[in-house]
Amino acid sequence: MIAIIDYNTGNIRSVINALARMGATDCMLTADADVIRRASHVLLPGVGEAGTAMNELRSRRLDTLIPTLTQPVLGICIGTQLMCLSSEEGDTTCMGIFPTRIVRFNDDAIKVPHMGWNTITQLRSPLFAGTDEESYVYYVHSYYPELCGCTIARTEYGVPFSGALMRDNFFGTQFHPEKSGPVGEQILRNFLAL
């Protein structure tokens, strides 16, 4: 069973729909710690503001549960950001799974939010099996994870940043695989095969 963590953020339906298109129908939207612990895979999707989203995790005591999970865990967009050390958005302390900060795009020469298709390069993880260098994925964000030793895919938009991160059983994509067509579907399939 795939647990999709429910913490009152948007974009849950598109993740569920993407999994259903792949035939992965054994998934449950839940904030129940016991259900999450028993799941084969865990997804932490979301769209929203870091401070509010982190408060939602704290109110459900999921901020202490998630870092202890031992099965494959995938953060998507704000879910990935919450797995980092901190975010400039709302001056938020996050879960600290990935050793990097979330910072705001501040280049006046680029449009913020970064919205639309962009490439991922320097791919290095089983998450990207069968994915070509410079494949296009879909982004919607104003804040990004800085590059670090856990960076497994890189994107450039004014500055280079972590398009994806990995540490042990934890994975995160700043882009939305559920909105990234066949490339995103392959990435989700690879995650579910871990």
Could you list the active site residues? 77, 176, 178
**What gap in Å lies between CA 79 and CA 107, rounded to an integer?**
24
How many Å is the maximal CA-CA distance in the chain?
Answer: 47
Instruction: Give me the residue label for tokens 């839940």.
Output: 30
Whole-number Cα distances in Å, 60 to 8, 17, 64, 68, 71: 10, 25, 9, 15, 20
Q: Is 162:120 a contact under the CB 8 Å cutoff?
A: no
d(CA 29, CA 72): 16
Phi, then psi, of 27 in degrees rounded to 5:
-130, 150
- Residue 171: in which H helix or E strand, if any? strand 170-173
Cα separation, 155 vs 121, in Å, equals 6
